[in-house]
Structure 1
Amino acid sequence: MKTNQLMKRIFAGSLALVSALTVGTTAFAAKTKIADVSQYQGNINWSKASKDLRMTIIRVKHGNPGDSDYRIDSKRNVNANGAYKHGTPFGQYDFAEFNSSADAVNDARQFYALSNKHARFYVLDNEKRGAGAKGHEQTYVNAWYKTMRTLTNKPLVYYSYESYVHVHKMNYSKFNGSWIADYGAKPDVSTDLWQYTSSGSLSGISGRVDLSRTVDNSTVTKWYTNTPKATYFTSVSNGQQLRATRNINRYKTANLTGKVGSLKYNSNLTAKAIARSSHGTYRVQLSDGSYITANKGYIQAR
């Protein structure tokens, strides 16, 4: 009797363990999809979508001010906050329409300023030629890349269609990876992530969505797992000129308490000294006596 009861308990425990492992394995296996999303996916149920997604790539904007089809993605913050809340790592992308090198520089600065601080990597979506880009596509891509590299040490990824890469002979070897679209077959150009369909399905989205699969799994994984740590200015000279690369606030104290104002990205700043918070975090004291973050993800030397 005791032996039978013991065997029953062992059997029941084994079933419970197998059940738990199966659920865990199924849940893990479900997180295999890679989707890019924008306002065109409407209101995404991120609780459901997160159960399918290995990662996602979220649009920030389309074009630059002055372009006839310029728009800031109305769901960029909702989607970024939803993905972050539900534990889905994400990057963000910039649909560009370059007309000049100056346009590419301004495009990169605005894109970075509008991006979410939790983005693990940034993508240049280079699939549409601006009116003045003929013969200069590579020059403008290089200007975007160079500008972004001064703003962040997070991975930078190049996106385009296979046909665009061929026609314009694009070189994106400086980027930390590539994401290439071809809905017929695996791209015949260098690619780490392959966007293979625009009519995929995903839990939490009622319509169709772009889906991608990895070609170089190791490279793609690094985009969202090897996120560099924040770096800070540890010294400045009195009168040194700085530039805000994101919208930031000014405060009365080095603990960033007592907000006294805000600054828009690209604002010029004059530093007075470096200060430390009560926890030892570096801050910049400005010439007017107020304090701002010393995080190089938010300010840069001019």
Structure 2
Amino acid sequence: MKSTQLFKKVFAGSLALASVLAISTTAFAAKTKVADVSQYQGNINWSKASKDLKMTIIRVKHGNAGDSDYRIDTKRNVNANGAAKYGVPFGQYDYAEFDSVADAQKDARQFYALSSTKAKFLVLDNEKRKSGVKSSEQTYVNAWLKTMRSLTNKPLVYYTYESFVTSHKINYSKFDGAWLAKYSSAKPKYTAALWQYTSTGSLSGISGHVDLSKIQNSSTVANWTKSTKATYMSSVKAGQKIRATRGINRYKTANLTGKIAGVKYNTTLTAKTIAKSSGGTYRIQLSDGSYITANKAYVQAE
């Protein structure tokens, strides 16, 4: 009798485990879609969308300051927070319109400052060539990439249409992969880890159409969504200039307590020495005696 009851308990437990595994596998299998979103998708129900999404790419801005069509995406933070809350890995993209090397550099700095710290990777959306510009589009792409490399160790991805690569002879091999658009049944002829194949897709949690993409190189895309470790500046020279690459705060102590004031991105500060918090984390003491983070995701040495 006891052995029979034990068998029944073990069997019941096995069924329960099998049921859980089956549900988990089914849920994982359902996460097959890759969508890019912006304010044009309205209020996304991320609880529902997360059931479909393997990954998403969120717009941060369109154009550069001074452009007639320039705008910062009103849903960039809402969408980033929604994706993060429901466990959807995400990158963010910068729809850029370059007219000079300096413009490309400025654009990269603003995009980085506006991007979410939770974004796994960052994308240059390079699909529009401004009229009347002098240098090759490649020159501007290179300037954007070089600036971004100085700001972050996150993967940097190149996006455009297949036709744009052909027209402007873009070499994107120095990026950490490419995401190309071609709305047809035939995938792009150029190397791309991600193929945006339609602009009329559908997704749970979104009313209306959404762009959908297919993964062409799973190992490359997997590398985009890996977490990157925080790295810190461990030494500075007295008088050295430090640029804030994001909005940060100045504090009274190395533990970053006693907020003094905010510091806008792209502000240059003067360092005095390196310091450590009580927990051993590097901080930068400024010439006025206040302290800021030494995290390289927020500051860089000039």
| TM-score of Structure 1 vs Structure 2, range by shorter chain | over 0.9
1:84 positional shift? 0.9
In the alignment, the residues of structure 2 paired with residue 134 and residue 203 of structure 1 have an alpha-carbon distance, to the nearest angstrom, of 44
In the alignment, the residues of structure 2 paired with residue 287 and residue 132 of structure 1 have an alpha-carbon distance, to the nearest angstrom, of 45
1:9 positional shift? 5.7
Q: Deviations over 1:74-97 (max 9, x none)?
A: 000001111111111111000001
Q: Deviations over 1:134-164 (max 9, x none)?
A: 6510000000000000001110000000111
- Per the normalisation by structure 1, the TM-score is 0.95
Q: Which runs of 5+ in 2 are unaligned?
A: none
Q: Which one-letter code corresponds to 2:208 in the other structure?
A: G
The two structures, once aligned, show a CA RMSD in angstroms of 1.7
1:1-302 matches, within 5 Å, as 12-133=12-133, 136-184=136-184, 185-225=186-226, 227-302=227-302
1:17 positional shift? 3.6
Q: 1:240 to 1:204 in 2, by over 3 A?
A: same
Preserved CA contact (<8 Å) 1:100 1:132 = no
Q: 1:132 to 1:110 in 2, by over 3 A?
A: farther
In the alignment, the residues of structure 2 paired with residue 16 and residue 298 of structure 1 have an alpha-carbon distance, to the nearest angstrom, of 47
1:132 positional shift? 3.4
Q: Deviations over 1:144-189 (max 9, x none)?
A: 0000000011100000001111111110000000000011120001
Q: 1:246 to 1:132 in 2, by over 3 A?
A: farther
- Per the normalisation by structure 2, the TM-score is 0.95
In the alignment, the residues of structure 2 paired with residue 6 and residue 288 of structure 1 have an alpha-carbon distance, to the nearest angstrom, of 72
Secondary structure, counterpart of 2:225 in structure 1: helix
Preserved CA contact (<8 Å) 2:100 2:135 = no
In the alignment, the residues of structure 2 paired with residue 156 and residue 187 of structure 1 have an alpha-carbon distance, to the nearest angstrom, of 20
Q: Deviations over 1:240-284 (max 9, x none)?
A: 111111111000100000100011111010001111001000000
In the alignment, the residues of structure 2 paired with residue 293 and residue 63 of structure 1 have an alpha-carbon distance, to the nearest angstrom, of 30
1:20 positional shift? 2.1
Q: Deviations over 1:271-299 (max 9, x none)?
A: 01111001000000111111000011111
In the alignment, the residues of structure 2 paired with residue 11 and residue 113 of structure 1 have an alpha-carbon distance, to the nearest angstrom, of 56
In the alignment, the residues of structure 2 paired with residue 148 and residue 92 of structure 1 have an alpha-carbon distance, to the nearest angstrom, of 13
In the alignment, the residues of structure 2 paired with residue 279 and residue 209 of structure 1 have an alpha-carbon distance, to the nearest angstrom, of 46
In the alignment, the residues of structure 2 paired with residue 17 and residue 253 of structure 1 have an alpha-carbon distance, to the nearest angstrom, of 51
Q: Which one-letter code corresponds to 2:299 in the other structure?
A: I
Preserved CA contact (<8 Å) 1:98 1:132 = no
Secondary structure, counterpart of 2:178 in structure 1: strand
1:24 positional shift? 1.1
In the alignment, the residues of structure 2 paired with residue 8 and residue 265 of structure 1 have an alpha-carbon distance, to the nearest angstrom, of 64
In the alignment, the residues of structure 2 paired with residue 99 and residue 76 of structure 1 have an alpha-carbon distance, to the nearest angstrom, of 25
In the alignment, the residues of structure 1 paired with residue 116 and residue 289 of structure 2 have an alpha-carbon distance, to the nearest angstrom, of 28
In the alignment, the residues of structure 2 paired with residue 271 and residue 25 of structure 1 have an alpha-carbon distance, to the nearest angstrom, of 52
In the alignment, the residues of structure 1 paired with residue 272 and residue 77 of structure 2 have an alpha-carbon distance, to the nearest angstrom, of 34
Q: Which deviates the most, 15-24 or 267-276?
A: 15-24
In the alignment, the residues of structure 1 paired with residue 92 and residue 254 of structure 2 have an alpha-carbon distance, to the nearest angstrom, of 31
Q: Which one-letter code corresponds to 2:199 in the other structure?
A: S
1:12 positional shift? 4.7
Q: Deviations over 1:98-118 (max 9, x none)?
A: 111111000000000000011
Q: 1:97 to 1:12 in 2, by over 3 A?
A: same
Q: Which one-letter code corresponds to 1:214 in the other structure?
A: I
